[in-house]
Amino acid sequence: MSSNTFHNYPAEQKKLTASIRQKKSFLCVGLDVDLDKIPPHLLREEDPIFAFNKAIIDATHPYAVAYKPNTAFYEAYGAAGWQSLEKTVRYIQSIDPTLFTIADAKRGDIGTTADRYAQAFFHALDFDSVTVAPYMGRDSIEPFLSHAGKTTILLGLTSNPGSADFETISVGDHPMYQEVMQKALTYKNSERLMFVVGATQTQYLAAIRQILPHHFFLVPGVGAQGGSLSEVCRYGLNPAVGLLVNASRAIIYAGEGVDFAQAARAAAQSLQIEMAEALDVYFKS
């Protein structure tokens, strides 16, 4: 790893990089809990969502460096869902303070509204990071970036089919997603940014890494969405690793019965082994 690159990272990303190197993993587990999909015996628990999350976290944290609850899966259950979310974040912090937490909220509004969103996720819920949408521009992003010790994860090039509606259309001589990324680098405290780059978009990943040689990428779409981990590593790794690869359904719903947590552990371990091999190849080359 280049020491110059590493020392330019904010403290929270240095901590994440150290955790990645220690565990030989850049796995992020997505906690997208659907009560219709969790094992039926958990529905007898006082808080089925938290009971499910706790079991998944206990089983997978030796192989993961980050957890990413998608807030919609909690908001859908009203106040009880928010309580489950808060309990989940606190539990992650208690079991291992080096684990990186991501509120996958995709917020995108301006001024004081953006600052209230930042306060909610960074301080009331104490997440390490939050995902944001860039459509409204600088004054919808910089309120998040003003919070020291926290990371803002900007939607760059997403893995959904509708991304072609806007993200890849031409703006002058380059696609829109490149315009977004280049513009974001001019924002105040842009060193606190990460970028979402979908695993199903690896044909663009090498060009994105040229634009963003040092920033972390959060990469969803490996597993159930069919993204290739080997291709993501081939084009996305940098001297400070620079990747968080998210898997949600492929891990948390790997099993359906009372042994669901053991199945999740096996799925997480399998991905971690692939990641360790990719890191060995990259840093020996």
The set of catalytic residues is 106
Q: Residue 38: is it exposed, middle or buried by C-beta count within 10 angstroms (0-12/13-18/19+)?
A: buried
* Residue among 39, 141, 117, 125 at smallest CA distance from 88: 125
* Residue among 237, 179, 201, 220 at smallest CA distance from 2: 237
Partners of 104 in beta bridges: 70
Furthest-apart CA atoms within the chain: distance in Å:
57
Q: Give me the helix-helix angle, 260-284 and 229-236, nearest 10°.
A: 30
Pairing mode, strands 174-175 and 170-171: antiparallel
Residues in contact with 189: Cβ distance below 8 Å, sequence separation at least 6, in sequence order: 142, 145, 146
Q: Could you give the CA distance from residue 230 to residue 16 in angstroms, rounded to a whole number?
A: 21
* Residue among 47, 87, 85 at smallest CA distance from 69: 85
CB 21 within 8 A of CB 225: no
